[in-house]
Amino acid sequence: MGGHVILRGLVAKRLELLAALERHESTATALADDLAHVDATILLFVAGLSRTLFRALRMAGKPLSTEELAALAKINPKRAGWVLRYMGECGLVRAEHSPGRPATWHTAY
């Protein structure tokens, strides 16, 4: 007799946990979708800045510092530096480092 009460309680607890798991899975799926949208927006933003900085660098015809490129593109130097480093990782630009001077950027091709 006592076993039936315990079994009913365990089954009820299992159903409760299963429902909670399903709620969390749907929340996790929604969060993953939101994250994908934010990532896509970041890529669009970076792509636009990349084009602007790359165009400024090509028009200059010589290596420029992050600050010079930011001024030409009329964007924040910190943001320009972040995008230039990303562009460097993608192989679009390269940085030249000289002791005691700021790095200069040039096109990789």
Domain with residue 85: its CATH number is 1.10.10.10
What is the model's pLDDT at position 40?
Answer: 86
Report pTM: 0.63
The DSSP secondary-structure symbol of 91 reads T
102: left (phi over 0), alpha (psi -120 to 50) or beta: beta
What is the model's pLDDT at position 47?
Answer: 85
96: phi then psi, degrees, rounded to nearest 5? -110, 130
What is the model's pLDDT at position 1?
Answer: 58
Domain count, the chain: 1
Name residues of the chain where pLDDT drops below 50. Answer: none
What is the model's pLDDT at position 97?
Answer: 92
What is the model's pLDDT at position 72?
Answer: 93
Neighbour-count burial of 70, counting CB atoms closer than 10 A to its CB (0-12 exposed, 13-18 middle, 19+ buried): buried
The range of the structural domain enclosing residue 61 comes to: 2-107
9: left (phi over 0), alpha (psi -120 to 50) or beta: alpha
What is the model's pLDDT at position 108?
Answer: 86
Q: Vertex 66, ends 64 and 67: CA angle to 5°?
A: 95
